[in-house]
Amino acid sequence: MPEEPFATRREFDMLVSRVDNIDRDGTRGVVAVQAQLTDAIKDVMELKSDMGSFKRDTAVWFEKHSEHHEQEMKSRISSRRWMIGTAFAGMAAMATVLALLIQIVGSLHH
């Protein structure tokens, strides 16, 4: 592993001045950290608010989606009932026609 070069005197002085600036008011940078933390808390609260509205919107969407599925199911059941009823009516009409034909054919042979 190559060794890292030593900091120059100029770089060291710049670092010292930055540390001194942080501790200028005797807070040791707590004010800067506190400001950043306050901003982070605001962002989290905004995100929480957005998530709350997203949950509400999603719940409404799922409710409407469920209602749509129920309506489709009722429609399919109704359609099947109509189809079955029509099929039975058609078979009954066909049976009636066949019975009449059998009666006519039977009366022709006598």
| Tens-digit pLDDT profile for residues 4-16 | 777 788 888 888 8
pTM over the 0.75 mark: no
Torsional sign, CA 8, 14, 15, 17: positive
Tens of pLDDT, residues 22-78: 666 666 667 778 888 999 999 999 998 888 888 888 888 889 999 999 999 999 999
- Name which of 50, 51, 22, 48 is nearest 36 in CA terms: 22
Tokens describing residue 5: 């070069």
Please give the pLDDT value at position 1: 55
